[in-house]
Amino acid sequence: MNTKTREMAIIAVMAALLCVAGPLSIAVGPIPLSLATFVVYLAGAVLGAKRGALAVAVYLLVGMVGVPVFSGFTGGFQKLVGVTGGYLIGYLACAWITGLAVRGDGAEPTPGWKLPAFMVVGTAALYAVGTAWFMLQTKNGLAAALMLCVVPFLAGDAVKIIAASLLARSIRRAVWR
């Protein structure tokens, strides 16, 4: 298989994993708890910045055209411009920043501390974009928005970061060999 075809296939598989994980969610106030962020971490960690963000973009486009791949088995453009749309768009930043910690081809190992550190920074970017959009949509102040949209998710995202960091190296080796 030529390199470009292989890259496209791997990006498509990661986008498909996002499409499977995204709808699986639990309502936690206005922002749902979803497995999508775990796959976003893996997308960046396995594919690198450019390809990881591209996998997320494919997922967003699939959802935008109406396929029910967003939380709660929803889809459509209205979801991207709705209250939670900033978090969906923030996935792009999270995957990109996470992917900056690794080479996209899996050729060299990443130091143990680097990947989770970049995932934390990516999560901060995700929270910043999503919370700012939430505040614009709902007219909530920063303190209220943080209590609704960030604080309830910190522990879960920490667990996802740990799990994704531990899995990423093995998955990268398998994907890029």
Q: What total number of domains does the chain contain?
A: 1
Nearest CA among 10, 1, 5 for reference residue 104: 10
44-68, pLDDT tens digit by residue?
A: 999 999 999 999 999 999 999 999 9
CA angle 155, 110, 120 (to 5 degrees): 25
Per-residue pLDDT tens digits for 81-119: 999 999 999 999 999 999 999 875 555 656 678 999 999
Q: What is the CATH number of the domain that holds 128?
A: 1.10.1760.20
Global confidence as pTM = 0.94
- Nearest in space to 56 (alpha carbons), one of 45, 132, 169: 45
Give yes or no for a contact between 98 and 41, defined as CB atoms under 8 angstroms apart: yes
Q: Which domain holds residue 137?
A: 3-176
Query: pLDDT tens digits, residue range 142-173?
Result: 999 999 999 999 999 999 999 999 999 889 88
**Three-state DSSP state, 29:** coil
| Rounded Cα gap, residues 57 and 12, in angstroms | 11
